[in-house]
Structure 1
Amino acid sequence: MSIKEDVNYVKNELSSEEKFLENFVKGERFFKKYKTLIFGFIVIIIIGSIGTIIKKNIDEANKFDANIALNKFLESGDEKALTTLKDKNEELYEVALYLQAKKENKSVEINIPLLKELLKFQIATTNNDQKELDNLSLQNDFLLKEFAIFNKALLLVNEGKFEEAKTTLKQIPQTSKAFELANLLNHYLLTK
C-alpha cells in the first residue's frame, strides 16, 4: 500500500507541476502575442497620468491668476485685469461684468442665468419699469419672482393704483419670504 500511495503522490505532484508549466507557457505565449498592446496600454496609462497632473496644475494656476485679476479689477477697475480674467476664467469674467453693470446701472450680455436675472431685476427696480417687473414675475423659474411682484405692487401704489396693487399682492404665496413685506403693504393699503 505504501508504494501505491507513493506512486499516486508522485503522479499528483507531476500533474500539478505539469499544469504549472503549461500555464506558464500559455502565459508566455499570450505575452509574446500581445506584447505591443500591453506596452502600449502601459504607455497610455503613464502619459494619461502625467497629462492629468499637468492639467490639474495649469487649472490651479489659472484659478489663482483669475482670482488675483478679479481682486485687482474690483479694487481699481483695471481693464488689463479684466482682459486677464476673460482669458483665465470666463465665469469670473462674467461676474466682474455683472458687478460693473450693477454699479453703473446698465445692461450687459451675461451667460450665467442667475446673474442675468438679477441684473434685469435690479435695472427694472431702479428704473421703475413696471412692464419688466411684470415680465420677470411671470417667469416660473425666476429667483426673485415674489420680490418682483412686490416691487410691481409698490410701483402701483406710488402711481395711486391701490386696487390694482392689492390684487398684485395677492399673487405672493404665504410661503414666500416676500409675504411679510406684502402684509405690511396690505396694511398700508387698508387706509387707501
Structure 2
Amino acid sequence: MSIKDDVKYVKTELSGDEKVLESAFKLESLYKKYKIVVWGAVGAALLFFVVTTGWSAVRQSKLEAANQALLTLQNNPNDTEALSVLKENNPALHEVYIFSQAAKTKDIKRLAGVSDSKNDIIADMSRYTVGAIEKKPVDSKLYTELVYLEEAYIEIKAGDMEKAKSKLALIDGRSSLSMLAKLLEHSTLKGK
C-alpha cells in the first residue's frame, strides 16, 4: 500500500504544480493583455507622488519665506522688500499684517484698503476699526454687540434714552459685554 500511497502523493503534487503553472500562464496572458493599463496606472501613481512632493516642497518654501519676511517686518516695519516678499508668498498673512499696523497707527486710508479683502474676517475687522476711529458705528458680523453698545452710547449722549435701551436690549445676557450694557442701562435711568 505504501507504493500506491506514494503514487497518489506524486499525482496530487503534480496536479498542484500543474495548477500553479496554469495560473502563472493565465497571469502572464492577463499581463500581456493589460500591460499598457498596468504600466499606465504605475506611471500615474508615480507622477502623482512626484507632483505632490514637489508641490509640498514649494509650499513649504513659500511659508518659510513669508515667516522670515514677517520676522523682518517685526524688527523693521519700514522694510518694503520684506513686505513685498510677504505679499508674494502669503497674501493672507500680508493682509493681517497690514491690518494690524494700520490699526496700531490708526491709518484710516490703509484700513479702508484692507476693508475690501477677500478674507471676510479681515474686511469686517477693518470696517469696524475705521468706524471706531471715526466714531461712527458700522454694521459688523464679528462685533455686533459692541456696535449695539456704541450705538446705545451715542443715543445716550444725544438724549434719546428709549433708543438706547432698545439697542442695549439686543445684547445677550450671556455676553461678556452684558455688564457694560447693564451699566449703560443704569445711566439711562439716571438720565431721566
Q: Structure 2 length normalisation: TM-score?
A: 0.84
Partner of 1:83: 84
Q: Tell me, in whole angstroms, the C-alpha distance in 2 between the residues paired with 1:50 and 1:150.
A: 55
Q: Tell me, in whole angstroms, the C-alpha distance in 2 between the residues paired with 1:33 and 1:60.
A: 43
Partner of 1:139: none
Cα deviation per residue 1:73-106 (whole Å; 9 max; x = unaligned)?
3432323222222211121122123224323133
Cα deviation per residue 1:38-82 (whole Å; 9 max; x = unaligned)?
233323323322222222121111101111222333432323222
**Partner amino acid, structure 2, of 1:126:** I
Segments of 5+ residues of structure 1 without an aligned counterpart are 137-141
Partner of 1:129: 136
Contact 1:63 1:89 (C-alpha < 8 Å) held by counterparts = yes
Q: Structure 1 length normalisation: TM-score?
A: 0.84
**Partner amino acid, structure 2, of 1:91:** A
Partner of 1:116: 123
1:35-184 matched pairs, under 5 angstroms: 35-74=35-74, 75-102=76-103, 103=105, 104-106=107-109, 107-108=112-113, 109-130=116-137, 132=138, 135-136=139-140, 142-184=141-183
Backbone CA RMSD of aligned residues = 2.0
How many angstroms does 1:2 deviate by? 4.4
What number of residue pairs does the alignment pair up? 184
**Partner amino acid, structure 1, of 2:98:** L
How many angstroms does 1:3 deviate by? 4.7
**Partner amino acid, structure 2, of 1:112:** N
Q: Does 1:8 align with 2:15?
A: no
Q: Does 1:189 align with 2:192?
A: no
**Partner amino acid, structure 2, of 1:71:** L
